[in-house]
Structure 1
Amino acid sequence: MKNDQERTELLQQIDKLLTAVDSMQTCLEAPEATNADGSFDIARTNLRITANEAAQVVERQRGAQEQREKSRPKVTLATSLLAGAEASEWQANKLKTNGDEAGARQASEHAVTLRRMASEAAITERRQSMHLVPTID
């Protein structure tokens, strides 16, 4: 929904810019006629205003996009490794029910290794996320 509104707003600004550029182009094609009635100055002012409005819309949408990206939860290495461990356990159970004991054992070993790596990654991530505050003397 938000993307549709932003897209609509951008398309409206592009349409306004194209109209302003077309008006300016018309003035440039007949400069002697437009200088007399002041339409060149009007077209130039209109183009400048429209370009500034479009720049503001783009900046506002960039800021909103950055905020959405900052608030989106990031997938950590530990989470990814845990997902891999769960997938390996699922694969081990499937292989075991199919009668492939060697494959099931190997998949279980992979799951154990991935869980150990996930635990180590979680510890490292917690350490890196700590912000130490200097002591006051």
Structure 2
Amino acid sequence: MLLVLKVCLCFVIATAVLGVGNPEHAAAGNIINNIRRGGRKLAETPTPESQGFISIDCGSNEDNYIALITGIPYTSDKGFIDTGIAKTVPGSYNKLKKTLRSFPQGKRNCYTLQPNQGKNNKYLIRARFTYGNYDGKDKGPVFDLYLG
């Protein structure tokens, strides 16, 4: 199945939550890893990566960081795409909205995700878009988004 969405904003963050049936992505902010008290392990909660989450910060130069508000680990999109230009949004946006990747060339610019679960599985994909007037044109672009 191919899904086409008409979008009127610019690509900033793509978060692919892979493996439907996993805990909510937002719960990643409450991760408790190997808490020990009195020498006994009290809790071990899986990390987002071990659950199959891929959280991408488009245009970021940082390979890996954890968002302060949510505790969700993000990675740069550099390893998922080899086209486009990384840009910085002017103004006082938060870290996740401060960078983006624009695609001034070509009709198709594809991100390649390779989830741990492999092919023939159901996936929940969440993408967020912000324009932020990064190009100074004060006019958000229109583009198609294909999933498949």
* Shorter-chain TM-score tier: under 0.3
Greater helix proportion: 1
TM-score (structure 2 length as normaliser): 0.22
Higher RCO structure (Cα 8 Å, ≥6 apart): 2
Bigger-Rg structure (1/2): 1
Structure having the larger proportion of residues in strand: 2
TM-score scaled to structure 1, two decimals? 0.23
